[in-house]
Amino acid sequence: MRLAPRLTAALSGLALALGGVVALAPAAHATPQACFYTVLEKHPEASPEVVEQACQLGAEGGQESFRACYFELRQDYVPATVAAEACRRAAQK
């Protein structure tokens, strides 16, 4: 009878450990290139030149870079949620 609580605890710990790995996985692929493809995948009407420039601005990191990236993308009518996600991806390495 005591095996059930131990098994439950072990499986819970395993699930949490695997969840942490999955949560870290997107950050491992975050680059200006990931930013670029995120925008073009979710908003194909965007100008590739504008998106590339915005993602390069966002790659520097920091609040100002994020704002510059976001502003550039919004000027090209990229939806706000897509622009914010892409600019966050550009800054992570």
Specify whether the CB–CB gap between 62 and 10 falls below 8 A: no
- Residue pLDDT, tens place only, 28-87: 445 899 999 999 999 999 999 999 999 999 998 899 999 999 999 999 999 999 999 999
Domain holding 7, by residue range, is 1-25
Task: Indicate whether 7 and 40 sit together in one domain.
Answer: no
- What was the pLDDT predicted at 28? 43
Domain count, the chain: 2
How does residue 5 score in pLDDT terms, banded at 50, 70 and 90?
low
Task: Indicate whether 48 and 77 sit together in one domain.
Answer: yes
Specify whether the CB–CB gap between 61 and 91 falls below 8 A: yes
- Measured at the CA of 23, the angle between CA 22 and CA 25, to 5 degrees, comes to 65
Task: Indicate whether 41 and 83 sit together in one domain.
Answer: yes
Give dist(CA 5, CA 54) in Å, integer. Answer: 52
- What was the pLDDT predicted at 72? 97
- What was the pLDDT predicted at 62? 92
Q: Any residues with CB less than 8 A from the CB of 52 and at least 6 apart, and which?
A: 32, 36
Give dist(CA 88, CA 86) in Å, integer. Answer: 5
Task: Indicate whether 81 and 36 sit together in one domain.
Answer: yes
